[in-house]
Structure 1
Amino acid sequence: MPQNYMGSLVFDFDGERLFEPGDGDMNLIVNGIRFETHRYLIKRFKKWGDLSKLGPGPRACIVIMGGASAEDFMRMLRVLYSTTLEGPFEFDIPTLVSSLQIATEYEYPALRNYAIKHLKRAELTAIKRIEIARKFDLPSWEKPAFMDLCNRDESITEEEANILGVAAFLRVTEIREREQRRRGSRVDVEREGKAIKSELAEVDLNQGTDGPTFIPCT
């Protein structure tokens, strides 16, 4: 997406425009990108709820100064406009995360809940769940994700360690080492048990062939 755009971008859904340029009644400007959109959708966000100050006409606009990028807004608008169409729709993880970010920052609870519900069903790595949980205040996501990190066989990568932070990384490493020692002890016990069974089986098989010969007394 270009960093600057003189006209307004009209949102499309799967390559088809939902409305013609000029049919929108307001604009969002994000990092120099102008999105033509509709007030009845944008006012669902609590922080943008009072649009009366914008005045009439399609040239009315809100300049967005926040953490979300123009690409985040493009993804979010895809979800927002899907509510005007017949579904159901499937959205990828980046689209859901962008929607969650904007819904959280600008206070649209229904959109936030929608994004969370669908992200729960998505195939996210443990570290991605932790990252999302921390960023969007989802504490119930963290414990299961940390358990997955502690129990998995693969080592913690440098990127994952940076996301975890020093304290959490050291704690996870400690738990992983303890779990690996426990597994190792269990494996040793299982191996010893198998060896004993094998020896007993050999004794049973050899009975009556290599044992002493008894001669009855006369």
Structure 2
Amino acid sequence: MSSTTQADSDSSSSQPSLTEPSSALQHRSKYFFDDDLVIFKVESTLFRVHKHYLIKESEVFHSMFSCPPDAAGPEGQTADRPIVLPEVKIVEFEALLDVFYERGYRQKEPRIGLPPTWLPREDGLLSVANRFGFEEIKDLAVKALETDVLVELGPVDKILLARQFDVSDWLKPAYVELCQRSKPLSTTEAGRLGAETAALIAQARETYRDSREYLDTRFCQNLVPFETSSRARNPDLDREAKIAVRRIFFPQTDGSSDEIGVKPSDIEVVIQQTRCSRAKAVKALEESGGDLINAIIALSE
């Protein structure tokens, strides 16, 4: 064998083989994409999109594409057999696709450059993200709505919207707002919220108005309905309203407390003086309106 032939042989043996058995290859799961295009039917319109994004972001779609096809073969491969998304509106699905294909939206502040399809309250991005379990995208939609829509809504509308789309963070502030409002629920508002919620709001309002901080403030203002005055917000009254709402709507089942409006140093003093549990110390301080002496006396009786 000549030196040239030997060199060629050595060179070829050092090159990557294109015929190695596939069993020797491994898939890098992070970057081995299933990037097939699939066809969806939404209302009377067809969409042909990459399924990778849907599988990655949603357990619902991940499960959908994990199911074995029926005897007729997989759906979504042809326009004759699209995957039908019932009860989904075109504006919703386009809002979802905007997030995937308009890459800048995730990096922008919630108020900057948002597509108009994000902001409708009942048929935009939040609706479709909540329905199909796109948790990260749902958070994005929630932030957008908090900036552009929620600030313009009354507390009853906020509660209904929070229920519809399962956004629990919107509930407590809305309950507190109703608790501090001078006017009670109207018949129409009570009907929209339902009898149970209306009754709980009435209980929270009564608890708030029975608090020492509320009565002291009302007395100092000569029985003027101060909730409707142009006063600056009173942190003590805000604290009492939050406590009332928590007690009525979110009662602790394990005897613990989230210690709203209670000074940590006061808690420690009560524990040292009465040798009670932390939960009992917090409760006594809340019930005494933050009065350290009265809390200690109450626990010592």
TM-score greater than 0.5 by the shorter chain: yes
Closer, same or farther in 2 for the Cα pair 1:42/1:148, shift >3 Å? same
Alignment partners' CA distance in 1, 2:166 and 2:105: 30
Alignment of 1:1-12 (within 5 A): none
1:25–1:37 CA contact under 8 A, matched in 2: yes
1:175 deviates by 4.3
What SS does the aligned partner of 2:60 have?
Answer: helix
Task: Give the gaps of 5 or more residues in structure 1.
Answer: 1-23, 191-218
What SS does the aligned partner of 1:65 have?
Answer: coil
Closer, same or farther in 2 for the Cα pair 1:185/1:86, shift >3 Å? closer
Of 38, 60, 65 in structure 2, the residue corresponding to residue 47 of structure 1 is: 60
Aligned Cα root-mean-square deviation (Å)? 3.8
Of 117, 139, 146 in structure 1, the residue corresponding to residue 143 of structure 2 is: 117
2:159–2:171 CA contact under 8 A, matched in 1: yes
Alignment partners' CA distance in 2, 1:57 and 1:128: 43
1:110 deviates by 1.9
Which residue of structure 2 lines up, in the alignment, with residue 81 of structure 1? 101
Closer, same or farther in 2 for the Cα pair 1:146/1:26, shift >3 Å? same
Determine whether 1:69 maps to 2:89.
yes
Of 135, 158, 161 in structure 2, the residue corresponding to residue 129 of structure 1 is: 158
* Cα offsets for 1:109-160 (capped at 9, x unmatched): 2212222333344451222332232233333331111001222345645553
* Cα offsets for 1:48-77 (capped at 9, x unmatched): 2327834656766210124x4333323333
Percent identical residues: 21
Which residue of structure 2 lines up, in the alignment, with residue 196 of structure 1? none
Relative to its length, the structure with more strand (as a share) is 1
Relative to its length, the structure with more helix (as a share) is 2
Determine whether 1:170 maps to 2:199.
yes
Alignment partners' CA distance in 1, 2:60 and 2:38: 16
Which residue of structure 1 lines up, in the alignment, with residue 296 of structure 2? none
1:87 deviates by 6.0
Alignment of 1:141-156 (within 5 A): 141-153=170-182, 156=185
Alignment partners' CA distance in 2, 1:170 and 1:60: 51
Which residue of structure 2 lines up, in the alignment, with residue 26 of structure 1? 38
1:28–1:34 CA contact under 8 A, matched in 2: yes
* Cα offsets for 1:159-199 (capped at 9, x unmatched): 53333111211332454477499576553257xxxxxxxxx
Closer, same or farther in 2 for the Cα pair 1:40/1:57, shift >3 Å? farther
Closer, same or farther in 2 for the Cα pair 1:71/1:161, shift >3 Å? farther
Alignment partners' CA distance in 1, 2:76 and 2:42: 20
Alignment partners' CA distance in 1, 2:76 and 2:44: 21
Alignment partners' CA distance in 1, 2:106 and 2:193: 40
1:75–1:95 CA contact under 8 A, matched in 2: no
In the alignment of these two chains, the number of paired residues is 166
Which residue of structure 2 lines up, in the alignment, with residue 187 of structure 1? 221
Alignment partners' CA distance in 1, 2:123 and 2:42: 18
1:99 deviates by 1.9
2:106–2:140 CA contact under 8 A, matched in 1: no
Alignment partners' CA distance in 2, 1:127 and 1:184: 26
1:96–1:118 CA contact under 8 A, matched in 2: no
Closer, same or farther in 2 for the Cα pair 1:64/1:159, shift >3 Å? farther
